[in-house]
Amino acid sequence: MDFTLSTRQGRIGTVVEVAGDLDMSTTPELRDQLRTLVESSAQLVVVDLTGVGFMDSSGLGVLVVAFKDLRERNGRLALAGASQPVRTVLSITSVDRVIGVFETVHDAEEASSAVS
């Protein structure tokens, strides 16, 4: 599967839709997009992982760095639509205890609006 990345305005934040494998060859593109959003003072970024079947440690690292960078600027990062293999990576590394993981983008936005 080819890697694709797109960004759209969500209901209350920015949604980054990712499809394909998230690995060493594709994470630089995601890292750059997330960095741009952080620098533009985004308050909520939801990474939609619905189309991601595989994620390695480089993908995990990009998400953790974006989470920390957004938090330093009073923003939030949420993950949505993670497949079972991706959820396993998030769980084994305990990242799912720090970054909110939701079934859908809508669920992530709802949870974020309740916190606001």
pLDDT tens digit sequence for 5-38: 999 999 999 999 999 999 999 999 999 999 999 9
Q: What is the DSSP letter of 104?
A: S
H-assigned helices in the chain: 27-39, 57-72, 84-92, 105-115
State the pLDDT confidence band at 113, using cuts at 50, 70 and 90: confident
pLDDT tens digit sequence for 38-80: 999 999 999 999 999 999 999 999 999 999 999 999 999 999 9
pTM of the predicted structure, to 2 decimals: 0.95
